[in-house]
Amino acid sequence: EDKVVQSPLSLVVHEGDTVTLNCSYEVTNFRSLLWYKQEKKAPTFLFMLTSSGIEKKSGRLSSILDKKELFSILNITATQTGDSAVYLCAWEPSGTYKYIFGTGTRLKVLA
Amino acid sequence: DVKVTQSSRYLVKRTGEKVFLECVQDMDHENMFWYRQDPGLGLRLIYFSYDVKMKEKGDIPEGYSVSREKKERFSLILESASTNQTSMYLCASSPGTGEAFFGQGTRLTVV
């Protein structure tokens, strides 16, 4: 069974810290990996990664995929209280239209 | 902007009732999904649909059915609501591959 594991489950940091969130998977073939941020209700899209070793960046957030080692990381530098959220990763397996989500990492940034 | 709209934000229903959760998207997306989200379990796929009148079971379809009579609308039906179906329900749509867009969620409480 395809499985996505995120770590840590939760994290508390202070403003200005840098955090690294991990997503590992046991999916044999896939099309893409996606990262979402969920603050209160609807998850909002952050990144989609399809190629190994290529970093995607958006402001203080960046993400990279390692297809060989089967993991992805999401980095947030100079964290702010507005970064407090649950961060979800999801895999899109090949040959299917569905997304398999991890359990998420709950990040709390203290002022 | 893509919009995915769920008909209710909060619902309270009694055990044994038939419950309908409605989801509408306005971007002509092929694929639509229903997930439930529970603490510590992440997002789990209930059903998805890749075309009108087409559906596939996700990981936890028991106790649920779906209907997709029109491309823009995907309904989740709880045939006989039970207390273990108390959860946050999230609808999503996607154009085929890549980013999925989520609705605001429906928090269902079954008493």
> Residue type at B8?
S
- State the pLDDT at residue B60: 95
pLDDT of B97 > 80? The answer is no
| A42–B102 CB contact, under 8 Å | yes
**Cβ–Cβ contact B55 with A under 8 A:** no
* Per-residue pLDDT at B96 exceeds 80: no
Task: Give residue-wise pLDDT tens across range A52-90.
Answer: 777 899 999 999 988 777 889 999 999 999 999 999 999
Q: What is the pLDDT of residue B82?
A: 97
Collapsing DSSP to helix, strand or coil, B66 comes out as strand
pLDDT for A1 equals 61
Q: What is the per-residue pLDDT across B27-67, written as a single tens digit (0 to 9) for each?
A: 999 999 999 999 888 899 999 999 999 999 999 999 999 99
Residue B23: what pLDDT? 97
Which domains does chain A show, CATH number per domain? 3-105 (2.60.40.10)
3-state secondary structure of B45: strand
- Looking at domain B4-110, its CATH superfamily turns out to be Immunoglobulins (2.60.40.10)
b/e per residue, A38-62, with b = 16+ CB within 10 A?
A: beebbbeebbbbbeeeeebeeeebe
- Percent of chain A whose pLDDT exceeds 70: 96
B65-78 average pLDDT score: 97
Chain B residue nearest residue A9, CA to CA:
B40
- Nearest CB to A48; choose among B35, B56, B99: B99
Residue A28 clears pLDDT 70, i.e. is over it = no
Q: Domain map of chain B by residue range?
A: 4-110
B27-46 residues touching A, CB cutoff 8 A: 30-31, 33, 35, 40-45
Chain B partners within 8 Å of A43 (Cβ): 43, 90, 102
Chain B interface test: which of A97, A103, A105 (most B C-beta within 10 Å): A97
pLDDT grade for B80, boundaries at 50, 70 and 90: very high
| Residue A102: DSSP 8-state | -
Q: Chain A 9-48, CB below 8 Å of chain B: which residues?
A: 31-32, 34, 36, 41-45, 48
